[in-house]
Chains A and B, each alone.
Chain A
Amino acid sequence: MLRLPTLFRLFAFAVLVAFLIQPQWFEPLLRPLVQENAPAIYNQGSLLQLTLLHLRTVAIATACATVVALALAILVTRRSGAEFLPLSRSLVNIGQTFPPVAVLALAVPIFGFGEKPTLIALFLYGLLPIFENALTGLTTLPPSIMEAARGTGMTGRQRLMKIELPLAMPVILAGIRLSVVISLATATIGSTVAARTLGEVIIAGLQSNNLAFVVQGGLIVAVLAVLIHDALQAAERSLGSRMGR
């Protein structure tokens, strides 16, 4: 049976898709937000295309961040990498005090304008929550289970693949979810350095004093963030219940 919140999300998704494909259907809703002759629907590019580019940027950055963060977390939780564990914790804490705008702006002189600095900033910023959660997941496993695994003669690799990673997976996935949501919002700032994201719509609105642009850009990102957050959470739950079985 579909529950009410699920129905609500499906409805939100349907409205979002309709808006991206046929934005002019919604023109009357946005019309009151603009002055007489100003356009109410973003007219300097396709909203659908910008949304896909936005999602692509976030997906690439998060995928890279996940791979690197997981590899690093596995490395520093092995015995051979234990010397790095205290430092990695501090670096995560220090890194999260860096404002995303600063990371983005500092990437521009090195990587030029466009998508590259945005990807780099999203990647670096996305690393932190995933790495932090992976560390938490891998260092707080129940000692009794670890001992049992060692007792049955599993090798370090087997323990990692069959015991540690599956047990830590819910926490790691929560980190990835957090990272995606932060990246979705931060990617909009990428448009200040000419990356093609939904931020373009918002910035165009700010520059031409067009509230409708600001609202539609912001709402698309917000709805995307809520839907993706909930979808990932549902995926985590189904994974968790399957593993619990």
Chain B
Amino acid sequence: MQFRVDKLGVIIAALAAYGALLAPFATFRANRIVAGEARSIGEALPSAWTVVVLLLVTATVVVAVLKTPSRLRLGTAFAAIAALALGIGAAAGHLTPPENAYARVSPASGFWILLFALGLLAADALTRLRPSPLVRVLFLSAVLGFIAAVLTSGTWDGLSLLKEYASRADTFWAEAGKHVTLALGSLAAATIVGIPLGILCHRVARLRDGLLGVLNAIQTIPSIALFGILIAPLGWIAVHVPGAAAIGIRGIGTAPAFVALFLYSLLPVVANTVVGLAGVPREANDAARGIGMTDFQRLVGIEFPLAFPVILTGIRIVLVQNIGLATIAALIGGGGFGVFVFQGVGQTAMDLVLLGAVPTVLLAFTAAIVLDALIETATPNRNRVQSA
């Protein structure tokens, strides 16, 4: 039995066959507003590209269905994804009539289904290969590098999404800056405040239940409400505290969004600090006391390093959550990628929604991979110690 069939491969083959042969590959619209017309892969791509994409997809499907080594599966999946990515750019050039600035070409369901199927295969192969943290980060950089290269090469310039970007390039980067500042800034503030609070909670049991209770309660307030509720106190501070308005504190805009994200971030940071410190083995503390370390030395030299991976896990939760929540800031004038998402929803302009959503997802995804790698590096590998 050398040629056994891989079950996941069968699902991927079915998805890919549907995506490539039955579903439309691209949508063509005469201008931004009118309804789109579906184009199949043969119609959308120049014939050479059709052959390349279909051949690579077929090769990937064959590799997926047969039980093949993970490296081969990963390689073909990525080759096919790359062909798909370059192909959709070629489709834009092929479908847009020459000298027509109004026509819009965007990827349709077939493209997304193919991408999903190939992505599944790549994710499965990657999971099975169990790459080390460093390799995972290198992999991520390679993928981001590829995306950046395609973007700068202008291959995708004909796509509707990039046309939306082109008409908003300045605001896009301004909102991107605001988004990152909101997510990272509130995380930094929460870390600076949260870790000492966590240490305090660890030492003073009475404080722990009360503070964690309050922070838990804050988490239950829906984000749009918390953003809104903070408008009033910050507006009051801006008017009544001298100098507050000068440093940018205002009732609407970035300030309430920043404070809301900060409040949401506190619970994971404080709770994980408490859990991490509680998990420090008693022997380690006793030994440290035995050699005459002071409380502070013990905290810095023993407890904190041992609790660090757990605290880092809290920071990862916060960062990924903040990148997502920062989109809501747009509702109270706080800026960020949410501006495009909600504008797009308002105009039912899918491309505008994507212009906000895709960078947000990419950002969250990158943050998750990088921090997971950091956590794995920081966690002492107990299995390795035992087997050594």
B360-388 residues at the A interface, CB under 8 angstroms:
360-361, 364-365, 367-368
Known: A188-B224, A199-B222, A203-B224; 13 extra A-B contacts, CB below 8 A, are A93-B368, A98-B364, A99-B360, A105-B344, A108-B345, A108-B353, A109-B348, A214-B228, A217-B222, A218-B224, A221-B221, A221-B225, A222-B220
Give Cα distance in the complex from A221 to B360, angstroms. 26
A226 at the interface (CB under 8 A from B): yes
Check A222 against B217 for contact (C-beta < 8 Å).
yes
CB distance from A50 to the nearest CB of B (A): 13
Residue of A nearest to B362 (CB): A97
Knowing A105-B345, A109-B353, A226-B217, the reply to whether A189 touches B124 (Cβ < 8 A) is no
B123 at the interface (CB under 8 A from A): yes
A108 to B357 Cα, complex, angstroms: 12
Instruction: Decide: A102 near B361, CB < 8 A? Known: A91-B123, A192-B345.
Output: yes
A/B interface sample: 8 pairs, CB < 8 A = A84-B7, A86-B124, A87-B127, A97-B365, A100-B324, A106-B357, A108-B348, A109-B350
Chain A interface secondary structure, helix, strand, loop or mixed? helix
How many interface residues does B have (CB within 8 Å)?
Answer: 46
CB distance from A35 to the nearest CB of B (A): 12
Q: Chain A 194-232 against B: per-residue CB contact (8 Å), 1 yes, 0 no?
A: 000011001101100001001101110110011001000
CB distance from A7 to the nearest CB of B (A): 16
Q: Report yes or no: B353 in contact with A83, Cβ–Cβ below 8 A.
A: no
**CB–CB B364/A225 < 8 A:** no
Other-chain residue from B7, B231, B324 in contact with A102 (beta carbon distance below 8 A) = B324
Q: Are A90 and B127 in contact (CB under 8 A)?
A: yes
Q: How far is the CA of A228 from the CA of B162 in the complex (A)?
A: 44
Q: Given A105-B345, A109-B353, A192-B342, verify A87-B225 contact (CB < 8 Å).
A: no
How does the 8 Å CB contact mask read for B3-15 relative to A, with 1 for contact and 0 for none? Answer: 0001110000000
Q: Residue on A with the closest CB to B120? A: A87
Distance in angstroms between the alpha carbons of A226 and B221 in the assembled complex = 10
**The residue from A97, A105, A203, A225 contacting B341, defined by CB atoms under 8 A apart:** A105
The CA of A114 and the CA of B127, in the complex, are separated in Å by: 37
B316-348 CB contacts (< 8 Å) to partner A: 320, 323-325, 327-328, 331-332, 338, 341-342, 344-345, 348
A202 CA to B357 CA, complexed, in Å: 23
B142 within 8 A of A: no
**Which residues from B are CB-within-8-Å of A84?**
7-8
A188 is contacted by which of B225, B341, B360 (Cβ under 8 Å)?
B225
Contacting residues, chain B, for A98 (C-beta < 8 A)? 324, 361, 364
A-B pairs with the 6 shortest C-beta distances? A218-B225, A99-B324, A214-B228, A109-B350, A225-B220, A102-B357
Q: Give the Cβ gap from A121 to chain B, nearest Cβ, in Å.
A: 12
Q: Residues of A at under 8 Å CB distance from B?
A: 33, 81, 83-84, 86-87, 89-91, 93-94, 96-102, 105-106, 108-109, 113, 181, 184-186, 188-189, 192-193, 198-199, 202-203, 205-206, 211, 214-215, 217-219, 221-222, 225-226, 229
Least distance between A25 CB and chain B CB atoms (Å): 21
Q: Is the CB of B344 within 8 A of A101?
A: no
- Min CB distance A156 to B, Å, is 18
CA distance A226 to B216 in the complex (A): 9
CB-CB under 8 A from A99, the residues of chain B are: 323-325, 327, 357, 360-361, 364
A210 to chain B, nearest CB (A): 9
Q: How far is the CA of A206 from the CA of B329 in the complex (A)?
A: 12
Given A86-B127, A102-B361, A106-B357, do A181 and B327 touch, yes or no (CB 8 Å)? Answer: no
Scoring B225, B323, B345 by chain A CB atoms within 10 A of each residue's CB, the highest score goes to B225
**Which has the most chain B C-beta neighbours within 10 Å: A105, A113, A185, A199?**
A105
- Contact residues in B for A215 (Cβ distance below 8 Å): 225, 229
- Alpha-carbon separation in the docked complex, A55 to B8 (Å): 37
- Inter-chain contacts of A97 with B (CB < 8 A): 320, 361, 364-365, 367-368
